């Protein structure tokens, strides 16, 4: 029994009506890239970490031989001028590896967000549309049809209902479950032809353009591609070892020694 | 830890000895169609929602770009004349995706039904009989052999014991577990050649005919086929994305990047 | 959350230093047959039922159209003469379908056995030895090497350490975990060439001969083959539907509709 | 609900600032061999056992027909001279068979280690590097980069960050999670070309040489190969039956009786 725990490393920040931004790994890593770049460029401050037994049971090795256990991280940023809002940003190494874990992690996070007085949620994800020979669009989904009015002037495509079936994982559940806590949610889906393994900075950029307009924040996009290349190695590393670890866990349990003597080791039930 | 939660959205209805009708997705979607049509035609009122971490972790996107998390819904209807009974109807998007979840959802629902003073249960399901060139029959199963007397005059075939092995999922467990709470249960099984993916309005109709006779309710069946076509798109959507999402969840964990350098990323145990 | 529950249907029997006999389904159904025949011939009295969300989520349909949820059952029998002991017998429809469930069911049962003052345990299982052209032997395993002295004069082969690797499931765990509660355990393994699906009355008979000698009970073995034939249909039914249900549960989740339009339903993460 | 339990069999030892050494089964069984040999040569005393429903549900049969349930064991050893430290050593039959279980077992053990005032952790594991025609090296990983200074003079390679992606299972999690309890952790990874099934005494020896230098303990390595041969049979037995048991559990659930009559046993949903 560990399930999901949030560890606050400093005093809880005192925030005024903050907006929650979620960007966890997923298709094209669009959310992870966009939210990570936002946090970095804003110099947002890390204040809490989330651990879960729904993440794979391993630690990641850094270049300096130090390890860290898989986790998500909470950052906050305080509005600098009128028209801006305080932010709580969630990024991280992993989403749940089992279906039930998504519910556990999202509900635990929503409990935490209530303590921070969060009433607005923006989640970021990638939408795999196969090959594409045009600029990616940003597709929008909302927890409440009323919200479309609020967000319609930011270049977001709100005609996705017929094209898109579902939103899987945290980006969807934060909207669907947050609604029952009175939180209003928007999901920004960046079109991408990428798989989870291939980070898509183009898609992340178009999402960031819409997001920063909504948040009334100016962001220098010039460093995005470089940052993605920097992140890319680390992200690939996580995803490689993750898929490798799963295969290892499975094959380890399935392997059969060649010298096994059937006569000596019989199954009993 | 969310498991299964029931959220009551209005005051709990005051019902007099109500009958509980369950129709969740399953073979031929017989239960879902029959119970859904009953609730709609009776203009039954929604009063509670059931969520579960045993449902898949995603939200469904509506045509209007709004999302909702997978759920089951409780409706009630009050008897209009003598000889009728108050009803509690359960329909929904999904059943549990893991074996243990069925027990959790059914027990949580039975706790809730006890508060509503439910003592009679009727569950609806499909029975896959392969190809069929005759009218589908309604097969009956009961929580207690005494009940056959009560239900024998409604055209229900109670000689199914040798033909039918088991009733899987909620439709069976409500009978098997409800019995230990003093609830008397009938399961109506509509013969169908359909798979879960293909809604079978014919089968739903024969079940509805038996059910409405039992409940002493008149129902206009003319709109059933149309309604099924309406529902069909939505149901297919859920089932498509559900099977797709599962495959994605699996393949995502199994994928192997082509550029992986074996030498650099070794497994450690 | 239901996990495992034991429901006592009558007053708890007052037993004097009873021996616990376990015979649940497994290889050759040896345990199930032997313990079931013992309970029946002794006219032992059922007094409690065990339910578990670690059993498959379905009900079994009886010939009379009544259903029952999968369960295990506790019987008791009081010693009739000097040299006999009171008995608690556990038989049932199923063992846990997931690895963790075995621990849960065995621990819950051990808690219950402590209330009944059980200090001696005898579990019965089959040992698959492939083709065999001789009388099956009874192989013994114990929770404590001291017990071999006590049980060595009943024709039990206690040289199994090198031949047998493990005892899987309830028959093994009752010994391994019961030991930490001060319970002394013997496992009787009947050699069989049968698979779980093929009940092996021969193997059950040799085990019963050893068991009844230990218990100082005379049992008419003449009806055993007939009883097994009777039981066989029911047991096969459970095992068939069980394997079928699992396949259905899996294929249902894996199926892919043929008319799926890839363009319309894209995965989002 | 058993999850993970630690049973203290004697009075808790009073230890002075002890170092915790973990060596559970894994790649090449390097950790298991090294920690097991250390405990044996030091005549360390067993004082506690760890059980978990995250281990496979079976008991192991010893040569003398006695069984024991899968477990891990805690030993302690008191420093004999200046410059040595008290030790707590963990060895055992198995690690968790499911991903979540690793978190549960490690957290339960860390709770226990806090009661023993453990502040330093050394875990031992194997690192599969494929074919090797040189002496295996010892690769080091740490919970905190500061620790490299402390451990750099023991022939440990601390340039592994780029070569090694992750440390899977207990050896990694003790470092990653222990850190949040103020425990400082070192993981010693012995290079090996072995699979889990093939114990690698060479790799264990180089790890032991580094470990004993750190602990300021002299160990006679001459008996290591012999001991490994002794252990080998038992370890192989566990791993064989483990993989066999998993296959059995799976095939048992998947098997399909040949005489099944499709018409008689239809699936109902």
The DSSP line for B169-180 is SHHHHHHHHHGG
Q: In what order do the strands lie in the sheet with C166-168?
A: C166-168, D58-61, D67-69
Q: Give the end-to-end CA distance of chain A in Å, rounded to a whole number.
A: 29
Q: Is the pLDDT of residue A253 over 60?
A: no
- Measure D25 CA to nearest chain A CA, in Å: 12
Does residue D240 carry a pLDDT above 80? Answer: no
How far is the C-alpha of A177 from the C-alpha of A183, rounded, in Å?
Answer: 9
pLDDT > 70: what percent of chain A? 83
What are the respective helix, strand and coil percentages of chain D, to the nearest 5?
A: 40, 25, 35
Tens of pLDDT, residue by residue over C51-96, are 999 998 989 888 889 999 999 999 999 999 999 999 999 999 999 9
pLDDT-derived band of residue A247, with 50, 70 and 90 as boundaries? low
* Alpha carbons D116 and D16: distance in angstroms, whole number: 9
Owner of token pair 């909504």 = A214
> D174 or C229: whose pLDDT is higher?
D174
Task: Kindly report, residue by residue over A111-141, the tens digit of the pLDDT.
Answer: 999 999 999 999 999 998 888 888 999 999 9
**A65 contacts D140? CB cut-off 8 A:** yes
Indicate the DSSP class of residue C164: B
Q: What is the number of other CB atoms lying within 10 angstroms of the CB of residue C197?
A: 19
Under 8 Å between Cβ of D145 and A64 = yes
Which pLDDT score, from 0 to 100, does residue A255 have?
33
Which of A26-40, A230-244, B241-255, C182-196 has the least mean pLDDT? B241-255
Please give the residue of chain B at the shortest CA–CA distance from C100: B100
In terms of DSSP H, where are the helices of chain A?
Answer: 30-41, 99-115, 147-151, 170-178, 201-215, 224-254
Give the largest Cα separation in chain B, rounded. 79
- Contact, A209 vs A136, CB < 8 A? no
Task: Note whether A196 contacts C269, CB cutoff 8 Å.
Answer: yes
| Chain A neighbors of D151, CB-CB under 8 A | none
- Per-residue pLDDT tens over the stretch C24-58: 998 888 999 999 999 999 999 999 999 999 998 98
The tokens of C17 are what?
């230093």
- Residue, of A141 and A233, whose pLDDT is higher: A141
How many whole angstroms separate alpha carbon B34 and alpha carbon A97?
Answer: 36
Q: pLDDT tens digits for D121-176?
A: 999 999 988 888 889 999 999 999 999 999 989 999 998 766 667 898 999 999 99
Mark yes or no for CB contact D59/C159 under 8 Å.
Answer: no
Q: What is the mean pLDDT of each run of 10 residues along chain B (269 residues)?
A: 91 96 92 95 98 93 91 98 97 90 97 98 92 90 96 90 80 97 97 78 95 96 85 69 59 35 37
> How far, in Å, CA of D127 to CA of D162, rounded?
14
Gap from A220 CA to chain B (nearest CA, Å): 30
The ranges assigned to domains in chain D are: 4-254
Which token pair is D46?
A: 């067993």
> Under a CB-based contact definition with an 8 Å cutoff, are residues D89 and D24 in contact?
no
Of C161, C177, C248, Cβ closest to residue D62: C161
Please list every residue in chain A whose beta carbon sits closer than 8 Å to the beta carbon of residue B62: 161
Residue pair B89/B36 in contact (Cβ under 8 Å)? The answer is no
> CA quadruple B203, B204, B209, B210: dihedral positive or negative?
positive
Highest mean pLDDT among A106-110, B54-58, B227-231, D193-197: A106-110
D225 touches chain A (CB under 8 A): no
Phi, psi of D124 (to 5 degrees): -125, 135
pLDDT at residue number C164: 67
Mark which residues 163-182 of A lie under 8 Å from D by CB: none
Tell me: pLDDT of C240 over 80: no
Is there a contact between A61 and D166 if contact means CB atoms under 8 Å apart? Answer: yes
Mean pLDDT estimate for chain D: 87
pLDDT tens digits, one per residue of A145-181? 999 999 989 999 998 776 667 898 999 999 999 999 9
Task: Check whether D239 has a pLDDT greater than 80.
Answer: no
Any CB–CB contact under 8 A between C266 and chain B? no
Using a CB–CB cutoff of 8 Å, tell me whether C56 touches chain B.
yes
Per-position DSSP letters for B136-161, written without gaps between them? PPEEEEESSTTHHHHHGGGS-B---T
Which residues from D are below 8 Å from A58, CB to CB?
166-169, 172-173
Tell me the C-alpha to C-alpha distance, in Å, between residue C74 and each of A146, C6, C29.
Answer: 59, 9, 18
The encoded tokens of residue A187 equal: 């999901």
SS3 of residue C60 by DSSP: strand
Q: Is A192 helix (H, G, I), strand (E, B) or coil?
A: strand
Q: How many CB atoms lie within 10 A of CB B123?
A: 29
pLDDT band for position C163 (50/70/90)?
Answer: low
Nearest CA to B241 out of C262, A99, A196 is that of C262
Its pTM stands at 0.91
ipTM field: 0.88
Q: In a 10 Å sphere around its CB, with 0-12 CB exposed, 13-18 middle and 19+ buried, how is residue D184 labelled? A: middle
Choose among D54, D240, D245: nearest Cβ to C100. D54
Mean pLDDT value across residues D78-95: 96
Q: Which two tokens stand for residue B219?
A: 């129902």
What values do phi and psi take at A73, rounded to 5?
A: -130, 140
- CB contacts under 8 A, D 86-115 vs A, are 96-97, 99-104, 107
Beta strands in chain B (DSSP E): 4-8, 19-23, 45-52, 58-61, 67-69, 72-77, 87-92, 120-128, 138-142, 166-168, 184-192
Q: Do C268 and A27 touch (CB under 8 A)?
A: yes
Q: Which residue is listed with tokens 């099944």?
A: D260
Alpha carbons A247 and A239: distance in angstroms, whole number: 12
- A169 contacts B58? CB cut-off 8 A: yes
Q: pLDDT tens digits for D203-232?
A: 999 999 999 999 999 999 999 988 888 777
pLDDT digits (tens, 9 = 90+) for A188-216: 999 998 666 678 899 999 999 999 999 99
Would the CB atoms of D65 and C145 count as touching at under 8 Å?
Answer: yes
What angle, 0 to 180 degrees and rounded to 10, lies between the N-to-C axes of helices C224-254 and C201-215? Answer: 120
Among B176, B185, B246, the strongest candidate for a mutation testing the C interface, having the largest count of C CBs within 10 A, is B176
Q: Is the pLDDT of residue A34 over 80?
A: yes
**C-beta atoms of B244 and C260 within 8 A:** yes
Task: Classify the C-alpha dihedral D28-D30-D33-D36 as positive or negative.
Answer: negative
Pairwise CB contact (< 8 Å): A57 & D158: no
Residue that wins the pLDDT comparison between D254 and A201: A201
Structure tokens at B143: 């929580």
Report the distance separating Cα B8 and Cα B30, nearest Å.
Answer: 26
Which of C176, C183, C242, C246 is the best residue to mutate to test the D interface, defined by the most D CB atoms within 10 Å of its own CB?
Answer: C176
Under 8 Å CB pairs connecting chains A and C tally to: 80
Q: Which of A103-107, B66-70, C198-202, D101-105 has the lowest mean pLDDT?
A: C198-202
Kindly list the residues from chain C whose CB atom is less than 8 angstroms away from the CB atom of residue D2: 103-104, 107
Contact C30, C190 (CB under 8 A): yes
Directed axis angle between helix B224-254 and helix B30-41, to 10°?
130
Partner B contacted by A246 (CB < 8 A)? yes
Q: Is A29 helix (H, G, I), strand (E, B) or coil?
A: helix
Pick the CATH number of A4-254 from 3.90.228.20, 3.40.50.10900, 3.30.530.20, 3.40.50.2000: 3.40.50.10900
Q: Maximum Cα–Cα distance for chain C, whole Å?
A: 79
Token pair for C94 = 């199923």
Question: What residues in C contact D98, CB-CB < 8 Å?
Answer: 99-100
Return the DSSP state at B2: -
């Amino acid at each position: 029994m560990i399930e999901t725990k949030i560890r606050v490393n400093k005093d809880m920040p005192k925030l005024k009506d903050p907006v929650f931004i979620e960007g966890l790994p997923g298709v094209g890593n669009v959310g992870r890239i966009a939210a990570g770049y936002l946090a970095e460029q804003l110099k947002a401050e890390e204040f809490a970490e989330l651990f879960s037994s729904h993440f794979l049971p391993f630690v990641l090795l850094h270049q300096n031989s130090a390890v860290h256990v898989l986790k998500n991280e909470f950052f906050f940023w305080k509005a600098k001028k009128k028209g801006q809002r305080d932010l709580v940003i969630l990024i991280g190494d992993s989403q749940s590896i089992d279906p039930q874990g998504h519910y556990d992690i999202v509900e635990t996070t929503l409990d935490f967000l209530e303590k921070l007085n969060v009433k607005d949620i923006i989640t970021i994800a990638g939408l795999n549309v196969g090959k594409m020979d045009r600029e990616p669009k940003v597709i929008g989904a909302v927890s409440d049809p009323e919200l479309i009015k609020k967000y319609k002037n930011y270049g977001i495509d709100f005609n996705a209902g017929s094209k898109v079936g579902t939103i899987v994982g945290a980006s969807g559940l934060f909207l669907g479950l947050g609604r029952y806590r009175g939180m209003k949610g928007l999901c920004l889906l960046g079109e991408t032809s990428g798989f989870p393994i291939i980070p898509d900075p183009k898609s992340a950029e178009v999402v960031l353009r819409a997001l920063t307009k909504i948040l009334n924040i100016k962001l220098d996009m010039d460093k995005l591609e470089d940052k993605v290349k920097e992140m890319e190695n680390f992200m690939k590393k996580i995803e490689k070892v993750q898929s490798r670890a799963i295969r290892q866990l499975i094959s380890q349990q399935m392997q059969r020694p060649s010298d096994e003597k059937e006569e000596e080791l019989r199954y009993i039930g």
